[in-house]
Structure 1
Amino acid sequence: MAVVKIKILNVIGRMSELDEVTTMLGKSGIFHPDNALAFYSDTSEFIPLNDENPYTDALHTLEDTLKTIDRHVDLLSVRMVDKIAPSVKNWRSYVKSFSSSVDDLIKKRNEIDRQISEDIREIEKVRHFSGLDLNLDDLRDCKFIRIRFGSLPVESYEKLSSYENNPYVVFFPGSRDEERYWGMYCAPIDRIAEVDRIFSGLYFERTRLHELTGTMKTALSQLTAKRDDEANQKAEINRQIDALWNKEKQMVQNVYSWLSEEYVYYNIRRYAARYGDNFILTGWIPADRENQIQAQMNELETVKCTFDRAEEPEVLMHSPPVELNNKKLFRPFEYFVEIYGLPSYDEIDPTILVAITYFFLFGIMFADLGQGICVAAAGYIMWKKMKMKLGRILIPCGISSSFFGVLFGSFFGFEHFLDPLYHSLFGLSEKPISVMEPETTNMIILFSVALGISLVLIAILINIYSSLRRKNYTNALFGPNGVAGLIFYASIVFGFGGQILLGIKIVTLPYVLCLIVLPLISMFFREILGGLAEARPNWKPEKWSDFLMQNFFEVFEFLLSFLTNTMSFIRVGAFVLVHAGMMMVVFMLAEMFSGIGFAVVVLVGNIFVIALEGLLVGIQALRLEFYEMFSRFFDGEGRPFLPVVVRQET
């Protein structure tokens, strides 16, 4: 069993020492807190501790400030934090002072950014009119005419010729782009309203040039100089931010590290409860760390603690958290188990079974030496470079594919590439297994069915063992995945299968009655038989009619599941044939070309097959694990063991 043994820790003490307890447990990195009130039947005198964390505001303020100036600090080690703790006594005032200094500089910089943005917009506007040789001061002094700057769509500019009889509808362009003409028009004061209406109908968009003086070129130069000056001011503020950071970086790191620890440790309090001047705190720790925690708690004057094994029935009912700890060889496959769901604390961990069966299923269905090497290499890159858990699984899967590729004689689809190897090692003229030959095809399908039968039987045996450990006798003895189901399934398979293959009459009337009918009846009445075996007082059904109807359909479903689960493994052999067939298609296409064309088609075809079939085989093998095997013995309703950790690894 690869589930780490844990114990439940119960801590009782005076409220005055609660902070020291939470700090000790938090620093240990092995304490998984749980709701203390859930472990007591009478909680009328207990008060949950829902105090607001005093470190929240300061920590969040500091984090926001660092994010604002795009800075990051690493958390110091526990030992370093203990050393610098006295220097951060005034943490509130320091955070407030540092954040205020940064905020002042950021506000100034934001204001300058706003001004620069406005200048850029003004520059863009004025640049459109730089072709007009006008003096804005002179235009503003005009008393009898009004001038409008703006732009017209190209289509509207071309329509101006239709207003040639109106001497006031004249547009003076200064520049143009693909969509619009930029320029001005003017009219006497008493005619400007009429001209405005005409240009409005031509979709004229007005541009207001406020506070600009001199010529267009002069105004453009002034705006450019203003923008450059503001950019220099922004650079100076950035230098001030850098100087402030260089001065305060170490202190910020000290305060941030200390606040992060205190924030996390204080949060442990919300799992505790208070009665009078005392507190209770409950959580889970690894069983092999009991002495360490006991020694730390003994240093406190009023604190007492007890440890109970998670296997005890009264503790087990609280669903102890689970941490998997398999051997390094099998550990990557914990990822698949976690996807389905962690095992309960008293449940069998299926990681080793998944590792072995998935390794072989993937390799058989994707048997190719060259492509297997590519899969393993891709998995290594995904694991080392991209930190993907799936990559660690693809490495052994690629190795398995390579192994079965040698057995089937396939190397990047070249079915006879390894013939010299067989000749030199075994004296064979060619590979021993030719997948596409009819006799071999039949053997592969039969092997797939036999493999499915074996794995289903293994899953049932695991369920029997697991259920007996959990004292679930109904499931272990009388369920479809218990002893009754095992006898029924094995009798069907070996009775009829052996009779067909060996030609010997195995299925006789006593055989049917004892090994098929009797187990079937046991499965039908499993709840009643299980209730009697477990000495449950309510073993009788409330309504026999409902009981009979419900169990009839359930037993029918069980029978159907035996058939479908077994036949589902035919996909293993099918994918062996599909892989060979896809590579045959690739080479048929490649033979239409010669030279480099042949090589390119083979290369592209291999890439396509590796990507497509690798994905399909991976999914189908996982489906066999989850639906055909896990469903027979695994519930996956456990919760993860999540100890309080400040410096969580990513």
Structure 2
Amino acid sequence: MTCGRPAEMRAGGDMRQVCLHLLRDDLPRAGLALARLHAFAPEPGDGKPQAGFDSFPGEAFNDCIGDSLSYFERIHKLLSRPLQQLPTPPAPGPAALDRSALLAQHHWLSRAWARVGQFETRQQQIDEQLRELNQLRKSLAELAGLDLDLGELHNPHRFLHLQIGLVPTENLNKLRRALALSGYLILRTSREPELSRVLIGGPRQTQELQEVLNAAGFQALDIPDDFRAASGQVAAQLTQRQAELEQRQHQLDQAMQLWVDENGLKLMQIKQVLDRARPLLGIGRAAQARGELTQLRGWLAADHLPQAEALLRQNLRHPFLLQQRPPLPEEYPQVPVPPKRHPWLRPFSLLVQQFGVPRFGEIDPSWLFTLSFCLMFGMMFGDLGQGAVFVLLGLLFRSRLGLLTPPLVLAGAASMLFGLLYGSVFGVEHWIEPLWRSPLSDPALMLGYALAWGVGFITLGSVIAIINRLLEQDLTGALFDASGVFSLVLYLSLVGGLYGLAQGDGFHPAALLLLLLALAAFMLHLWRESTAPWGERALTVLIETFELIIGYFSNSLSFLRVAAFSLNHVALSLAIFTLADTMDGAGHWLMLVLGNLFVMVLEGAIVAIQILRLEYYEGFSRFFRADGKAFTPLRYGPAPEVPANPQPHPPLHPRGMP
């Protein structure tokens, strides 16, 4: 694979496998330097040391840095407020990433957590007691108005059963009469609009009493053991406990502030080091070593190689050797595929990866997806005025919309183009003369063009699938897959024959001959691939052939929705104008404005969803395997500026620092 336009058309672009030979001490600096590119993806291989290596130094860094990050995050979570008041410490030097320095910081954080962990324990105790105190206050509020000595409710009574609870106020009189019949009395009442608090007294509790209480909607209240006095005295006790807890919290805050005053600057310096060391967690088994000699392997786009070498020269202290080569065909499934970097293609590339990651070396579906998405949006939502609104909104709010800007602007531009073809401006079809025709002028013709578009789209997808199989040197797949040569010939010959029938010319003999030859070749391949008994094999061949033909035609008919939504757009506009014509003055214009907003928001969203459905299930599922490897590079700091279409450059030869 070479640099330039052919590589851009294939998934993964001009990706290279790089192998960096360096000394073990320089591994952290190399990881940080490559992380600044946001373009180097480590390659752990099969997880076993290659010949000549016996250890994985990256895993040692993982343990050290991972534990340090865990300690720091727990400390920072507890002391975040006093730490915010500290000034920003000076940036750490390169030596801060040495393994010895990282280990020293790990030990410091371990000792710091041993002390700060005591603060956390004390804070948890205070928080728990505050929660209990608040619960007691809530319980006391539920008992308010009964004027009881709550301590008496805890004392056993030999001949008297006391029960306190809530009852709906509307049931209070009925409950009083029912209790009187059972030998019980309501001794205290605190009447409220919805729920009243009651104290019930009488003989020992019986099943009859419980049934009466349940019928009245009675809810028993628990009396905490802490309540052993009158309500006023209990409230005073709770207030005293609140003051004691606040004093303990104040003392704890002072202790934590003192610790931050003594150690906060050191902690924030370690934070800066850990932020720089965090990318090293992604190295893992991509780095292998024997003694001091270390090798780091991964994947890097060819246009990033000069930057990578320059960063390594600036940051590494010892000589190094950087080797690179294109991936071998057998490595393609393991090569990570990054999204397109071009700002107008990247959002569509990310949508492609929502369906699945393309395999490296395949024709990248991002280009076809971008073009077909915009064209279908224009076909289904053709309006010059509404499309112009989309374009203006995308350009005016591009800083807020971010990645949504390119799809919105391009879809709006396509809508404007088809609006000119349809002669539609904000749903009005008599302001401008159409360059072609209005969809409602000939719905049958629109349905025919939509079906033709679907046939063309599916044909292109099958051609791409055939090319992908040939690129993989899979001749059998290119010929006999469900989107292979014989399947495509079968589909096109059947479409051509049916078109002849529709035109009254009959099924053309050439189309019939191609149909029978393709059908025979496809079925013969299925027969030879099957190892089942003859009867089962014949049934399998018939079912799979029938499924292939039905799949092609169901996918083709799905594209009729392209015409359906173009007609629906016109119909909605007519409905809005009809409603507006029933109003006068400001109401007329308000209906027109709100109606157009309704169409742009609701129908625009529905059209976008329908296009994604067509792309994913009628397009991608035909030629896109979606079994590639996601690109997860090391990252640190802001991403560097890289040209969207870099100029080809000569291959980077292995070289080291002098």
Instruction: Show the counterpart of 1:21.
Output: 27
Q: 1:408 aligns with which of 415, 422, 442?
A: 422
Which has the higher mean CA deviation after the structures are superposed, 20-29 or 270-279?
A: 270-279
Task: Report the Cα distance in structure 1 between the residues aligned to 2:575 and 2:131, rounded to whole angstroms.
Answer: 61
Task: Report the Cα distance in structure 2 between the residues aligned to 1:38 and 1:386, rounded to whole angstroms.
Answer: 42
Contact 1:474-1:527 within 8 A present in 2 as well: no
Code of the aligned partner of 1:32? A
Distance 1:560 1:382, change over 3 A: farther
1:445 aligns with 2:447: yes
Percent identity (aligned): 23
Which has the higher mean CA deviation after the structures are superposed, 80-89 or 281-290?
A: 80-89
Larger C-alpha radius of gyration, 1 or 2?
1
Contact 1:322-1:344 within 8 A present in 2 as well: yes
1:178 aligns with 2:194: yes
Task: Report the Cα distance in structure 1 between the residues aligned to 2:542 and 2:423, rounded to whole angstroms.
Answer: 50
Distance 1:609 1:269, change over 3 A: closer
Instruction: Show the counterpart of 2:438.
Output: 434
Code of the aligned partner of 1:20? D
Instruction: Show the counterpart of 1:534.
Output: none
Task: Report the Cα distance in structure 1 between the residues aligned to 2:268 and 2:525, rounded to whole angstroms.
Answer: 64
Counterparts of 1:409-558 in structure 2 under 5 Å? 409-416=423-430, 419=431, 422=432, 433-437=437-441, 440-476=442-478, 481-484=483-486, 497=499, 509=509, 511-512=510-511, 515-524=514-523, 551=541, 553-558=543-548
Offset at residue 347 of structure 1 (A):
0.5
1:64 aligns with 2:74: yes
Task: Report the Cα distance in structure 2 between the residues aligned to 1:34 and 1:330, rounded to whole angstroms.
Answer: 26
Aligned to 1:461, what secondary structure does the other structure show? helix
Aligned to 1:54, what secondary structure does the other structure show? helix
Contact 2:185-2:200 within 8 A present in 1 as well: no
Code of the aligned partner of 2:558? S
Unaligned runs of 5+ in 2: 1-6, 640-658
Q: Deviations over 1:542-576 (max 9, x none)?
A: 78958776555544444444433433322211211
Q: CA RMSD in A?
A: 5.1
Distance 1:228 1:636, change over 3 A: same
Task: Report the Cα distance in structure 1 between the residues aligned to 2:166 and 2:587, rounded to whole angstroms.
Answer: 56
Contact 2:497-2:508 within 8 A present in 1 as well: no
Instruction: Show the counterpart of 1:573.
Output: 563
Task: Report the Cα distance in structure 1 between the residues aligned to 2:142 and 2:46, rounded to whole angstroms.
Answer: 74
Q: Deviations over 1:144-197 (max 9, x none)?
A: 999979546354676456778999957244675631235697xxxxxx976999
TM-score by length of 1: 0.74
Unaligned runs of 5+ in 1: 186-191, 423-427, 529-538
Contact 2:89-2:268 within 8 A present in 1 as well: no
Q: Deviations over 1:361-385 (max 9, x none)?
A: 0111012344435555776799754
Instruction: Show the counterpart of 2:619.
Output: 629
1:99 aligns with 2:113: yes
Offset at residue 412 of structure 1 (A):
3.8
Instruction: Show the counterpart of 1:8.
Output: 17
Task: Report the Cα distance in structure 2 between the residues aligned to 1:560 and 1:443, rounded to whole angstroms.
Answer: 24
Code of the aligned partner of 1:178? E
Aligned to 2:463, what secondary structure does the other structure show? helix
Distance 1:527 1:24, change over 3 A: farther
Offset at residue 113 of structure 1 (A):
3.6
1:364 aligns with 2:379: yes
Task: Report the Cα distance in structure 1 between the residues aligned to 2:90 and 2:374, rounded to whole angstroms.
Answer: 42
Give the paired residue count. Answer: 608
Code of the aligned partner of 1:63? E
Distance 1:58 1:130, change over 3 A: same
Offset at residue 28 of structure 1 (A):
0.8
Contact 2:494-2:512 within 8 A present in 1 as well: no
Task: Report the Cα distance in structure 1 between the residues aligned to 2:153 and 2:493, rounded to whole angstroms.
Answer: 106
Task: Report the Cα distance in structure 1 between the residues aligned to 2:307 and 2:389, rounded to whole angstroms.
Answer: 47
Q: 1:642 aligns with which of 632, 648, 654?
A: 632
1:399 aligns with 2:401: no
Task: Report the Cα distance in structure 2 between the residues aligned to 1:130 and 1:246, rounded to whole angstroms.
Answer: 47
Instruction: Show the counterpart of 2:642.
Output: none
Q: 2:63 aligns with which of 53, 62, 69?
A: 53
TM-score by length of 2: 0.73
Offset at residue 340 of structure 1 (A):
2.0
Counterparts of 1:255-270 in structure 2 under 5 Å? 255-262=270-277, 264-265=279-280, 268-270=283-285
Instruction: Show the counterpart of 2:223.
Output: 207
Task: Report the Cα distance in structure 2 between the residues aligned to 1:168 and 1:500, rounded to whole angstroms.
Answer: 91
Q: Which has the higher contact order (CA 8 A, sep 6+)?
A: 2
Contact 2:29-2:94 within 8 A present in 1 as well: no
Task: Report the Cα distance in structure 1 between the residues aligned to 2:321 and 2:451, rounded to whole angstroms.
Answer: 60
Offset at residue 221 of structure 1 (A):
4.6
Code of the aligned partner of 2:630? P
